[in-house]
């Protein structure tokens, strides 16, 4: 009998009506007490693997599966999902969709009640998990009023109430802000190291996660690598996947054994920076982004307040200017008011007090359709806008709605510029995540608004797609467009040549200015519940931030390499 926590033997799986496998000949063994991370590109079969481990595939999805899958000794392909209830805890993607009940306490009790646990036992377990996760204060809260991070913890609490031996999480970091990510990972680490739970995390955001893993598996339909995280990351880098910036830095300056933790990297970075002439690094002159924006103000926000029904203050006295050619990032934790602010830029929301001027037009006196001609907004979830039969028609809908008539040539040209022309006749729902994201951008770019606003553009996409997105944004800037993005993805921000960061917290602007000032101000970032990008944090820890302020691994590597060349 098999007694490892998880074992897959030669698993191949085809979704119904598909001719190419989603997973091919995958064999994987996870022992009890491991903390294993499964990474890989989008579309590489990570979520499919999760669903197979949980018995959802093939029992709910159908399709053709060959091979054997054992969880805690149970053949889940034969026995079905119910055979592992209580043995395995699972938090799937979009935890909000997994919450069944209205009260947190009732949600945690739900599974235990289904499996006929006694009331006394259930109450005891509820108390244990609430205390263990530090969320006792949420006990009587309604689930639909919780923040993204809180929902994630409640979903985790609900899974842990069974006291499972194995915990499986599918992309748990996708919708969390940086502080939420750190909190969740420290909980998972505690569960693994203190309580002995076997943790399996399927995730492609490795910057914060990699240091906790005992093993890292890289999956792209097949298992490409399975081993020690440091080596796996070197391999990931070759594949163009997301790796912690500190790993990228060390790979750029030397070949072997990059540290995974900042603490381990600090000493070495200090040593490398020891002989640098601090005077030579006058901050503003040493980086490449000195792109000039014009003085023409395209959006002016004056003392903007927005009150939601019920009187909750979502925005409090915001002042902001966006000039032509600017690349601005609005940064803040979930709930900081970023989306509410950008919804004022095209008049979707009207100010409760104060005003917003778009190309001199007061948004209170103009319709969304009028303002949208100047400001194109790309929302976070592309699925919120697709309804046509094909990608081409989707783009043409915007053209027609915006009063440009039916111009297929123009629509095809924008699809081509985003490398989507071969997919023009395909349904938007048949496209991959990255293609859907590009199509959403295409359907805004097609009518050539002067300002393009993106809401959390990197949510749910992997590193290569992020870099693809960055290229698109840079291309827009080169064409003289103005780009504003609302994000909590600080690592993407560190890669993007933004000229202004607007830091928001609880509906207020805490700071706005050069990213090298804002992203190096640990005090301000903490106040906004945002963690700094890894390289600024590393440089600050090394005590070098007074004379150099690189934002990403490439910038710091070039400084170090420059110093190495000079010192011979």
Partner 1 sequence: MAKRSIFENLNYALTYEELKGFYHKIDPRAKLLYSIATIAVLIVNDLQKLLMILIVNLVLALLYVRILNRLATLLKGLSIFIASIVIFNVLISLLLAGERLDIYNLLETQVKAIIRVVIAAMALTMFLATTTPWEIVQGLSKMGLKYTYLYTFIIALRFIPIVFSEMRSIYDAQRSRGLELEKGGVLSRLKKLTPIFIPTVVCSMLRARDLVEAMELKGFGCSDKRTFHKPLKFSRIDAGFILTTAITYASIVLTPVL
Closer CB to partner 1, 103 or 433, in the complex: 103
Q: Is 161 helix (H, G, I), strand (E, B) or coil?
A: coil
Between 109 and 539, name the residue whose CB sits nearer to partner 1: 109
Q: How far is the CB of 106 from partner 1 (least distance, A)?
A: 4
Of 534, 526, 540, 525, the residue nearest 554 (C-alpha): 534
Q: Are 486 and 503 in contact (CB under 8 A)?
A: no
Closer Cβ to partner 1, 308 or 319, answer by number? 308
Q: What is the DSSP string of 355-402?
A: EEEETTEEGGGS-HHHHHTTEEEE-S-GGGT--SSSHHHHHHHHHHHT
Distance of closest approach, residue 370 Cβ to partner 1, in angstroms: 10
Instruction: Give the β-pairing of 166-170 and 88-91.
Output: parallel
The answer to whether 444 and 452 have CB atoms below 8 angstroms apart is: yes
Q: For partner 1, which is the closer residue by CB, 119 or 480?
A: 119
CA distance 426 to 558: 43
Instruction: Tell me how far apart the alpha carbons of residues 534 and 553 are, in angstroms, rounded to a whole number.
Output: 9
Q: Give the shortest CB-351-to-partner 1 separation in angstroms.
A: 10
Nearest approach, Cβ of residue 144 and partner 1 (Å): 6
* CB 397, min distance to partner 1, A: 7
Pick left, alpha or beta for residue 483 (phi over 0 → left; psi -120 to 50 → alpha; otherwise beta). Answer: beta
- By beta-carbon proximity to partner 1, the closer residue of 248 and 374 is 374
| C-alpha torsion 371→395→430→343, nearest 10 | 0
Angle (nearest 5°) at CA 235 between 233 and 239: 110
Cβ closer to partner 1: 76 or 276?
76
Residue 91 C-beta: closest distance to partner 1, Å = 9
> Cα(452)–Cα(526) distance, rounded to whole angstroms?
29
CB–CB of 391/428 below 8 Å? yes
CB of 92 to partner 1, least distance (A): 6
- Give the nearer residue to partner 1 in terms of CB position, either 8 or 109: 109
CB of residue 562 vs partner 1: minimum separation in angstroms?
45
Considering beta carbons, is residue 190 or 353 the nearer one to partner 1? 353
Identify the helix (H) or strand (E) that includes residue 167. Answer: strand 166-170
From CA 547, how far away is CA 542, in angstroms rounded?
Answer: 12
Taking the complex as a whole, the smallest distance from the CB of residue 128 to partner 1 amounts, in Å, to: 13
Q: Indicate the residue among 91 and 273 with the shorter CB distance to partner 1.
A: 91
Q: Tell me the CA distances in angstroms from 131 to 126, 153, 160, 238, 350, one per residue in order.
A: 8, 12, 12, 42, 42
Kindly tell me which of 92 and 544 has the beta carbon lying closer to partner 1. Answer: 92
State the nearest-atom distance from the C-beta of 99 to partner 1, in Å.
Answer: 7
Nearer to partner 1, 119 or 543 (CB): 119
Nearest distance from residue 277's CB to partner 1, in Å?
50
CA distances from 317 to 29, 237, 255, 353 (A): 55, 44, 50, 8
Other beta carbons within 10 Å of 96: 14
Q: Give CA–CA dist 131/530, Å, rounded.
A: 25
């Amino acid at each position: 009998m098999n007694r490892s926590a998880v074992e897959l033997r030669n698993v191949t799986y085809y979704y119904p009506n598909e001719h190419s496998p989603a997973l091919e000949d995958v064999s994987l063994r996870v022992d009890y007490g491991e903390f294993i991370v499964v990474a890989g590109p989008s579309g590489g079969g990570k979520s499919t693997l999760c669903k197979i481990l949980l018995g959802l595939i093939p029992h709910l999805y159908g399709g053709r599966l060959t091979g054997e899958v054992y969880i805690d000794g149970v053949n889940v392909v034969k026995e079905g999902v119910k055979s592992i209830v209580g043995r395995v805890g699972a938090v799937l993607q979009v935890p909000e969709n997994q919450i069944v009940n209205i009260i947190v306490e009732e949600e945690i009790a739900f599974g235990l009640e289904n499996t006929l646990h006694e009331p006394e036992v259930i109450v005891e377990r509820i108390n244990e998990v609430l205390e263990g996760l530090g969320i006792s204060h949420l006990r009587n809260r309604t689930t639909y009023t919780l923040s993204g991070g809180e929902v994630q913890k409640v979903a985790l609490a609900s899974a842990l109430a069974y006291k499972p031996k194995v915990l499986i999480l599918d992309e748990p970091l996708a919708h969390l802000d940086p502080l939420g990510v750190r909190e969740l990972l420290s909980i998972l680490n505690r569960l693994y190291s203190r309580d002995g739970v076997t943790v399996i995390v399927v995730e492609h955001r490795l910057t914060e996660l990699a240091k906790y893993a005992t093993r890292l598996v890289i999956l792209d339909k097949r298992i490409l690598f399975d081993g020690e995280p440091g080596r796996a990351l070197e391999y990931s880098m070759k594949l163009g996947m997301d790796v912690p910036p500190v790993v990228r830095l060390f790979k750029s300056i030397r070949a072997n054994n990059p540290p995974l933790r900042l603490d381990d990297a600090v000493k070495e970075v200090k040593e490398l920076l020891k002989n640098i002439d601090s005077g030579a690094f006058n901050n503003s002159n040493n980086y490449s982004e000195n792109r000039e924006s014009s003085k023409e103000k395209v959006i002016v926000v004056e003392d903007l307040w927005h009150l939601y029904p019920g009187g909750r203050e979502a925005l409090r006295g915001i002042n902001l200017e966006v000039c032509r050619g600017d690349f601005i990032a609005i940064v803040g934790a979930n709930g900081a008011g970023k989306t509410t602010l950008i919804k004022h830029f095209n008049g979707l929301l009207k100010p409760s007090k104060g005003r917003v001027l778009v190309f001199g037009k007061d948004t209170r006196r103009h319709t969304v359709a009028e303002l949208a001609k100047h400001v194109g907004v790309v929302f976070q979830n592309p699925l919120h806008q697709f309804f046509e039969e094909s990608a081409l028609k989707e783009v043409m809908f915007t053209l027609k709605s915006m009063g440009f008539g039916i111009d297929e040539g123009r629509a095809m040209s924008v699809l081509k510029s985003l490398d989507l022309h071969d997919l023009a006749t395909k349904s938007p729902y048949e496209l991959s995540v990255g293609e859907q994201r590009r199509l959403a951008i295409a359907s805004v770019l097609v009518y050539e608004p002067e300002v393009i606003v993106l809401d959390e553009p990197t949510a749910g996409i992997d590193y290569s797609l992020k870099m693809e997105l960055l290229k698109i944004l840079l291309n827009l800037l080169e064409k003289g467009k103005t780009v504003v993005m609302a994000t909590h993805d600080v690592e993407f921000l560190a890669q993007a040549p933004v000229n202004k960061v607007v830091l928001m917290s609880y509906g207020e602007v805490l700071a706005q200015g050069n990213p090298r000032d804002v992203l190096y101000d640990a005090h301000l970032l903490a106040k906004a519940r945002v963690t700094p990008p890894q390289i600024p944090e590393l440089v600050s820890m090394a005590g070098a931030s007074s004379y150099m302020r690189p934002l990403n691994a490439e910038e710091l590597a070039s400084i170090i390499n420059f110093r190495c060349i000079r010192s011979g």
